[in-house]
Amino acid sequence: MPRITAAITGVHGFIPKDIITNKDLEIMVDTNDEWIKARTGIEERHILRDPNLATSDMGAAAVMALLEKKGMSPLDIDLIICATVTPDYFFPDTGTLIAYKVGAKNAFAYDITAACSGFLFSATTGAKMVESGSYKNVIVVGADKMSTITDYTDRATCILFGDAAGAILIQPNEKGNGLLDSWMRVDGVGAEFLHMKGGGSRNPPTHETVDKKMHFLYQDGKPVFKAATKGMAEAVSEIMKRNNLSPDDITYVVPHQANLRIIQAVADMLKFPIEKVMINIQKYGNTTGATIPLCLWEWQDKLKPGDKIILTAFGGGYTWGASLWSWAY
Ligand code: UT7
């Protein structure tokens, strides 16, 4: 029997309409448009302002649009995996809330928390579920309402993040297209440099944790920058080495969008021309779980069956890795 491969067969994004520009941030903190553009590449980010809407609402919107485009019923979905660090609640998980909102009554669901690598890890996990032969229609969602954990008085972090969601459909493929390989790692040494201190079992919420701003994301940017550059370059080169690939064989690299300088440094280290790298950080900033599916959504019309792409990410944890896919449509 031929091996079942698991291919991405659709992608859709959701971007909230409200925008915070660099000029808007100049009024909020001691920063300026030139610094933000030069140090990060970000020009604006979208924010889900409505306090009644949360991460699952953005995820559900992306999934519903994806199903509509594919002409599929929500009843066809077997599994929804949601990558997020800003779940609606600790529990129930956001994947289950998305399944409820879209009417995926025949599905099971769960979340994967791996910070900015969440979508990368989830896509491999979803593909392996399809490869197993047990599940045929798997949806992987990357969704984050980063504005809810961003301290808009901290200029070191508030310039970086935005809100968005992206969803992919993974299905069996008979032509051998789909996930070809993946290489993923974690290292808890990174917890010190990128974390959210409060809210969990170590520092449960109290007046004090709120007063000390422990429910906001904390980042010491410099060490994370260095580790991210090294980590993504390592992951992509491991994947290329063990699959005997050169940059000429790859149509696009799809990096997590945290900082334009990190993306450029990784491309330089791997000798990838920048035209082969998907970059949209200028429009959305770092949307954590959503950056990679948003890139795929924007670039899908430029891809054709058989094109090889490499997804790569680095995030809090540390978590990092890369996966090689053969495009299916
Ligand atoms: O997505 C998950 C993984 N995350 C990442 O990959 C992010 C990694 N880190 C970064 O992207 C960068 O470290 C940042 C963009 C966060 C910061 O850039 P940097 O080049 O590392 O700047 P820095 O933190 O070393 O700050 C340089 C200077 C400092 O001033 P002094 O000490 O040199 O006088 C900062 O106080 O820039 C100052 N600064 C700012 N100035 C204007 C920091 N933030 C700002 C700001 N506007 N927003």
Which pLDDT belongs to residue 1?
Answer: 61
Are both 115 and 145 inside the same structural domain?
Answer: yes
Residue 261: φ, ψ to 5°: -70, -35
pLDDT band at 4 (very low <50, low <70, confident <90, very high): confident
Are both 227 and 260 inside the same structural domain?
Answer: yes
Report the DSSP beta bridge partners of residue 165.
14, 143
Are both 185 and 168 inside the same structural domain?
Answer: no
Would you say residue 143 has pLDDT above 80?
A: yes
Mean pLDDT, all residues of the chain = 98
CA-nearest residue for atom 35, ligand 1, is 156
Are both 157 and 205 inside the same structural domain?
Answer: no
15-28 confidence digits (pLDDT tens): 999 999 999 999 99
108-133 confidence digits (pLDDT tens): 999 999 999 999 999 999 999 999 99
Would you say residue 2 has pLDDT above 80?
A: no
Are both 202 and 314 inside the same structural domain?
Answer: yes
- The DSSP code for 300 is G
Are both 9 and 148 inside the same structural domain?
Answer: yes
Minimum mean pLDDT among 2-6, 31-35, 195-199, 292-296: which range? 2-6
Contact (Cβ atoms closer than 8 angstroms) between residue 285 and residue 160: yes
Domain end, chosen from 176, 193, 226, is at: 176
Closest ligand 1 atom, residue 219 Cα: 16
CATH number, domain of 308, equals 3.40.47.10
184-197 confidence digits (pLDDT tens): 999 999 999 999 99
Domain membership of residue 68 as a residue range:
5-176
CA atoms within 13 A on the CB side of 70: 24
Are both 313 and 168 inside the same structural domain?
Answer: no
Are both 172 and 212 inside the same structural domain?
Answer: no
Span 58-81, average pLDDT? 98
List the catalytic residue out of 116, 177, 195, 295: 116
Which pLDDT belongs to residue 228?
Answer: 98
* Number of domains, the chain: 2
Would you say residue 213 has pLDDT above 90?
A: yes
268-282 confidence digits (pLDDT tens): 999 999 999 999 999
Strands 252-255 and 308-315: parallel
Contacts of residue 174, defined as CB under 8 A and 6 or more positions apart, other chains included, come to: 2
CA-nearest residue for atom 38, ligand 1, is 156
Residue 82 bears catalytic tag: no
The CA-based diameter of the chain, rounded to the nearest angstrom, is 63
- Residues having CB within 6 Å of any atom of ligand 1: 31, 35, 39-40, 116, 155-156, 159, 221-222, 224-225, 228, 258-259, 262, 286, 314-315
236-272 confidence digits (pLDDT tens): 999 999 999 999 999 999 999 999 999 999 999 999 9
Q: Report the alpha-carbon distance of residue 5 to residue 209 in Å, rounded.
A: 47
Which pLDDT belongs to residue 261?
Answer: 98
